[in-house]
């Protein structure tokens, strides 16, 4: 690690001093920051409201160092140079702070920070401090920490309305060059911003029942003497497309809390609306402001006063906050001078847009020669969002929460190069990653906790995020429903036993249908193919069911009758040990948008799959679909949309989701192959073109034939007929006029 840090220092040079000057801007600070929001490494810290911890707006941009890591694998990037090494995250951060330490120990009184590291420490960084079990799934696999050292730092003082530009001389480069970069970015014409579109439903990793059951489990642990309190959370997820910064701006306007933060972390973005300070340092003086106790705001002044009074007089919340204050005093006492840790304020009520919070302030004097990183290690993660005692609480959290928390209840802010620090607790915080938005909400559970009240409290805390994300007047959780073996159930309650051969071997199959405003397209054809596969694979008669009625029930329950939907019928074989059917029959539905609406393309790009394929199972839409999935993933890795599947003799078969058809003159060519899925849409297109006077020819087709064809198209039941634009990045020609006519006739 030391060699890596030394190499970085040699590359950038140490900080000689920090250049400071007044910076004028006509735009609001958040509008000014919008010019930088698209740049990787940008960190924006906004202060909202009138509390005493909400004085400064800070924009950190144009980093000369980016440091991130997972576990002990750490990467430091500067310019075009990137180093990856094994090391302790906290020792790495400490080494960077010491390497770039400023000659002056403190910034001038009017500035909280002039240079330093800005970004986040995820909750999962706890594993670098304590040895804890890991039973929750790390599904996002994002960095455990992400920090940047900015060449451009703008600090806006809300009290006097001034903005200061800080540039660290040395690693940032020449002052004039940095200023030119700043003005170029500031004057950049911004593209029109889309506030974002979301998926149809907000999903949680808990149902109300399972969350309440987890609260009961915690109460049992408390009764057994394991803990006094545990912070329990649930994570929500929804699809998101659009501009993250526009969503951040909307959130700030609706609920300007003291510790708003936006982080562009390259492949993911963090949006935080936290009200809670974790740690603040000014020289040797340090403080923490734990929050415990929450009530919703009232709709009338009388209701609001009653709720405020109820929180203030609550013995449960008083005990909960007192426990956490004692925990934080103990943590800070590990690194503070003896006798200096004290509670300067207790049970202070703070009003926010949707809730009342009860807050305490714990202060101390950091013992020399310890620094900010030592303070973080002694106190991280914050006791207000773990529980008491902390280690056992974190074990229980990992046991009961199904996914790793990542940023939620970690910390966001800065650690300076001159003995100041300000970190928030990352609550009311969202992560945007790979087309989805994730955020968690939770609360402290004690023995007196009511499970239903605890569940409702999480919804109150997440209300602003939910309202803004969903764009509705009220935040509603809309669970999706499926028809499962004769019953309509919430999706998360439709379960298959592990002994089902569909789970063990992919022994099952499915059909996907297009439904347009309640009208099921080609239902008879799909069910005919479904029944044929059933008889072939299972060797029994198919079920006698009114599929149209079942599908209608599913559509109505999911509120999809007034739009285009994709319906999937899934069958698994069951255990195979009974003569009667003990498998699963499932019908699900989702809103469907044509892929061209998502991509803006006019056709698809094919990439040849890296392996030949020939199996009689290809005649059916079995659940043994891994080969198709991997082929599709390969295509996307090479900037394609679909994979072209080839037979062992290199003749063309189909794509990973569609059939292939070729138009040449007045002839429709259908690739001949031993094993492929007989497509419903393919059959309809062949019949339609035959009626239009086309001659149909079935023959073996090779890739060279596609380059000579007038038009190549692919088809399936959802997207209809789609032109192929290229194969292995080589353009294919032809007009799409005939394809438009096909879709008008069939869709």
pLDDT at 735: 64
Query: Where are the alpha helices (H) located in 334-446, listed in sequence order?
Result: 372-379, 390-400
Is it the case that residue 284 has pLDDT exceeding 90? yes
> Using CA atoms, how far apart are residues 443 and 234, in angstroms rounded to an integer?
10
pLDDT at 474: 42
pLDDT at 713: 94
Is it the case that residue 473 has pLDDT exceeding 50? no
pLDDT at 244: 93
pLDDT at 198: 64
pLDDT in tens, 573-612: 998 766 678 899 999 999 998 888 867 788 999 999 998 8
The alpha carbon of residue 440 and the mean position of all alpha carbons in its chain are separated, in whole angstroms, by: 11
The strand pair at 667-671 and 695-699 is best described as: parallel
Is it the case that residue 421 has pLDDT exceeding 60? yes
Instruction: Name the percent of the chain lying above pLDDT 90.
Output: 69
Fill in the DSSP letter of residue 40.
T
For 595, the token pair is 């892929």
Which of 398-412, 622-636, 646-660 has the least mean pLDDT? Answer: 622-636
Q: Roughly how many angstroms between the first and final C-alpha of the chain, as a whole number?
A: 61
pLDDT in tens, 135-151: 898 999 999 999 999 99
> Using CA atoms, how far apart are residues 317 and 122, in angstroms rounded to an integer?
27
Is it the case that residue 247 has pLDDT exceeding 70? yes
Banded pLDDT at 370 (limits 50, 70, 90):
very high
pLDDT in tens, 12-32: 888 989 999 999 998 999 999
Q: Please list the residues that pair with 261 across neighbouring strands.
A: 45, 272
Q: Which CATH class is domain 2-470?
A: alpha beta
Banded pLDDT at 437 (limits 50, 70, 90):
very high
pLDDT at 171: 85
The strand pair at 162-168 and 145-157 is best described as: antiparallel
Mean pLDDT score, 721-729: 94
pLDDT at 89: 96
- Are residues 331 and 383 in contact, defined by beta-carbon separation less than 8 angstroms? yes
Is it the case that residue 200 has pLDDT exceeding 70? no
Taking the CA atoms of 184, 102, 174 and 117 in sequence, report the sign of the dihedral they define.
negative
pLDDT at 107: 87
* Beta strand spans in 678-719 (E): 695-699, 711-716
The alpha carbon of residue 190 and the mean position of all alpha carbons in its chain are separated, in whole angstroms, by: 25
Is it the case that residue 338 has pLDDT exceeding 60? yes
E strand or H helix at 739:
helix 737-746
pLDDT at 197: 67
Q: Which CATH class is domain 602-746?
A: alpha beta
Banded pLDDT at 35 (limits 50, 70, 90):
very high
- Are residues 388 and 79 in contact, defined by beta-carbon separation less than 8 angstroms? no
E strand or H helix at 566:
strand 564-572
Instruction: Tally the residues of the chain.
Output: 747
Q: Which of 423, 113, 112, 93 is nearest to 280 (CA)?
A: 423
Mean pLDDT score, 407-426: 97
What secondary structure does DSSP assign to 383-441, as a single string?
Answer: GGGTEESHHHHHHHHHHH-SB--TTTTSEEEEEESSSEEEEEE--SEEEEETTEEEEEE
Fill in the DSSP letter of residue 736.
S
Instruction: Say if residue 657 is preceded by a cis peptide, omega within 30 of 0.
Output: no
Q: What SS3 state is found at 680?
A: helix
pLDDT at 47: 94
Banded pLDDT at 472 (limits 50, 70, 90):
very low
How many Cβ atoms from other residues are within 10 Å of residue 581's Cβ?
14
> Using CA atoms, how far apart are residues 280 and 57, in angstroms rounded to an integer?
16
> Using CA atoms, how far apart are residues 39 and 266, in angstroms rounded to an integer?
8
pLDDT at 88: 95
Angle at 340 between CA 121 and CA 124, to 5 degrees: 15
> Using CA atoms, how far apart are residues 86 and 92, in angstroms rounded to an integer?
10
pLDDT in tens, 424-433: 999 999 999 9
Q: Which are the catalytic amino acids?
A: 276, 292
> Using CA atoms, how far apart are residues 624 and 502, in angstroms rounded to an integer?
9
Q: What is the mean pLDDT of the chain?
A: 91
Read off φ and ψ for residue 559, nearest 5 degrees: 55, 50
| Residue bearing the bigger pLDDT, 492 or 264 | 264
pLDDT at 714: 95
Taking the CA atoms of 613, 614, 617 and 620 in sequence, report the sign of the dihedral they define.
positive
Domain covering 481-592 in this structure, CATH number: 3.30.470.10
The strand pair at 604-608 and 642-646 is best described as: parallel
pLDDT at 475: 42
**Per-domain boundaries in the chain:** 2-470, 481-592, 602-746
């Amino acid at each position: 690690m030391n060699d890596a840090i030394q190499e970085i220092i040699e590359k950038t040079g140490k900080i000689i001093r920090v250049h400071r000057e007044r910076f004028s801007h006509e735009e609001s600070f958040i509008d000014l920051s919008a010019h930088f929001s698209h740049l990787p490494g940008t960190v924006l810290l906004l202060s909202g409201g009138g509390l005493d911890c909400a004085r400064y707006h800070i924009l950190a941009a144009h980093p000369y160092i980016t440091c991130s890591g997972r576990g002990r694998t750490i990467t430091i990037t500067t310019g075009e140079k990137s180093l990856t090494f094994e090391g302790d995250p906290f020792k790495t951060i400490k080494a960077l702070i010491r390497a770039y330490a400023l000659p002056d120990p403190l910034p001038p009184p009017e500035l909280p920070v002039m240079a330093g590291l800005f970004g986040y420490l995820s909750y999962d960084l706890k594993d670098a401090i304590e040895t804890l079990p890991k039973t929750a799934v790390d599904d996002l696999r994002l960095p455990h920490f992400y920090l940047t050292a900015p060449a451009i730092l703008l600090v806006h003082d809300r009290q006097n309305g001034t903005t200061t530009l800080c540039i660290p001389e040395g690693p940032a480069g020449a002052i004039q060059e940095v200023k030119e970069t700043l003005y170029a970015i500031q004057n950049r014409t911004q593209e029109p911003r889309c506030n974002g579109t979301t998926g149809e439903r907000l999903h949680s990793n808990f149902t109300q029942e399972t969350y309440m059951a987890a609260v009961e489990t915690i109460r049992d642990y408390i009764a057994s003497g394991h803990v006094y309190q545990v912070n329990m959370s649930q994570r929500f997820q929804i699809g998101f497309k659009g501009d993250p910064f526009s969503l951040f701006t909307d959130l700030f306007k609706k609920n300007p809390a003291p510790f708003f933060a936006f982080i562009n972390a390259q492949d993911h973005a963090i949006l935080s609306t936290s009200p809670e300070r974790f740690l603040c340092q000014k020289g040797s003086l340090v403080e923490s402001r734990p929050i415990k106790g929450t009530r919703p705001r009232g709709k009338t002044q009388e209701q609001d006063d009653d709720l405020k009074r109820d929180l203030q007089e609550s013995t449960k919340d008083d005990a909960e906050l007192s426990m956490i204050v004692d925990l934080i005093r103990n943590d800070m006492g590990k690194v503070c001078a003896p006798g200096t840790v004290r509670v300067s304020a207790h049970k202070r009520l703070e009003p926010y847009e949707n809730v009342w919070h009860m807050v305490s302030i714990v202060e101390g004097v950091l013992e020399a020669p310890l620094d900010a990183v030592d303070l973080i290690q002694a106190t991280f993660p914050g006791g207000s969002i773990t529980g008491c005692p902390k280690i056992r609480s974190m074990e229980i959290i990992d046991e009961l929460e199904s996914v790793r928390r990542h940023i939620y209840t970690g910390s966001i802010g800065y650690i300076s190069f001159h003995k100041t620090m300000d970190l928030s607790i990352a609550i009311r915080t969202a992560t945007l990653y790979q087309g989805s938005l994730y955020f968690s909400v939770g609360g402290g559970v004690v023995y007196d906790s009511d499970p239903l009240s605890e569940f409702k409290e999480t919804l109150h805390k997440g209300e602003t995020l939910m309202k803004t994300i969903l764009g509705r007047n009220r935040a509603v959780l809309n669970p999706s429903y499926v028809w499962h073996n004769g019953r309509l159930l919430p999706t998360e309650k439709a379960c298959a036993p592990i002994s089902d051969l569909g789970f063990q071997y992919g022994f099952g199959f499915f059909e996907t249908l297009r439904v347009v405003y309640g009208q099921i397209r080609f239902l008879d054809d799909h069910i005919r193919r479904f029944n044929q596969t059933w008889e072939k694979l299972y060797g029994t008669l198919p079920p006698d069911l009114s599929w149209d009625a079942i599908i209608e029930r599913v559509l109505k329950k999911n509120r999809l009758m007034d739009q285009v939907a994709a319906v999937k019928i899934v069958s698994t074989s069951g255990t195979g040990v009974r003569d009667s059917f003990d498998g699963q029959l499932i019908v699900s539905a989702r809103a469907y948008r044509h892929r061209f609406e998502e991509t803006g393309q006019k056709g698809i790009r094919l990439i040849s799959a890296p392996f030949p394929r020939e199996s009689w199972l290809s005649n059916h839409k079995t659940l043994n679909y891994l080969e198709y999935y991997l082929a599709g993933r390969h295509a996307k890795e090479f900037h394609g949309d679909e994979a072209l599947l080839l037979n062992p003799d290199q003749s063309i078969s189909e794509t990973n989701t569609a059939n292939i058809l070729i138009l040449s003159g007045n002839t429709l060519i259908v690739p001949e192959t031993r094993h492929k899925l007989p497509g419903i849409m393919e059959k309809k297109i062949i019949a339609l073109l035959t009626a239009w006077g086309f001659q149909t020819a079935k023959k073996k087709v090779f890739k060279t034939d596609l380059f000579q064809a007038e038009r190549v198209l692919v088809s399936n039941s959802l997207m209809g007929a789609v032109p192929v634009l290229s194969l292995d990045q080589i353009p294919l020609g032809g007009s799409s006029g005939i394809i438009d006519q096909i879709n008008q006739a069939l869709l």
